[in-house]
Amino acid sequence: MLETLETPDQILADLWTRLEAGVRDNDHPFRLAVTGTIGSARGDSSPDLRIVVIRWTDIAQRRIRFFTDRRSAKFAQLTARPALMLHFYDREQTLQLRIGCDVTIHTADAIADAAWATTPESNRANYAGLHVPGTIIDHPEQGWPAPNADGRPNFAVIVCVATEIDWLHIGRRGHRRVRFTWSGDQWNGAWVAP
């Protein structure tokens, strides 16, 4: 399928379609992304990585959203430096996407309220732990949601605004790679050596 895409424009349209499919389908490989930030749990400036669930995408606005706990290390890192890389990998298609983004953080505004309103109780519990993520505890159970605790104060929506996309397909007939950069009003795609 990816072999039939002939131009960077076709590839750009296809990759956003795949990102949208990831939001709809729990089993899609693009349901999850690895986020790369600067600033480790130790508080220095080394790289840090972790997986998140992609909750929403918008092609026209170049936006991708995930949710997190505002007490987490990643939240502090993004507050200090509001940019990240999203890494996606589709093993079956041997397709890698790296999306460089600027970030806006939403905790107590309409975007966060609307996201919380559509978040089921089972997921809300993820934000209802009494301990800050990463705190040393005596037993694993101490890190579980506290009964009746309100997770809303800890809930944050991270909106990633894509500014660059690196698309790489490891194909049987040859590897192909495109780098897309946002110019301010359009995407410019260029083939680059894989």
**Which residues are at the interface with ligand FMN (CB under 6 A)?**
32, 41, 50-53, 66-69, 72-74, 133-134
50 vs 175 by CB, closer to ligand FMN: 50
57 vs 68 by CB, closer to ligand FMN: 68
Taking residue 169's Cβ as centre, other Cβ atoms within 10 Å add up to 20
30 vs 67 by CB, closer to ligand FMN: 67
Distance CA 14, CA 111 (A): 27
- Which residues neighbour 88 within 8 Å (Cβ) at sequence distance 6 or greater? 19, 22, 29, 30, 33, 34, 95, 96, 97, 98, 99
Show the tokens assigned to 5. 């895409």
Contact status, residue 2 vs residue 17, Cβ threshold 8 Å: no
33 vs 178 by CB, closer to ligand FMN: 33
Residue-wise DSSP of 6-63: -SHHHHHHHHHHHHHHHHH-TTSGGGEEEEEEES-TTSSSSEEEEEEEEEEEETTTTE
In angstroms, give the least distance from the CB of 171 to ligand FMN: 28
104 vs 181 by CB, closer to ligand FMN: 104
| Rounded (10°) CA dihedral 110, 161, 124, 24 | 110
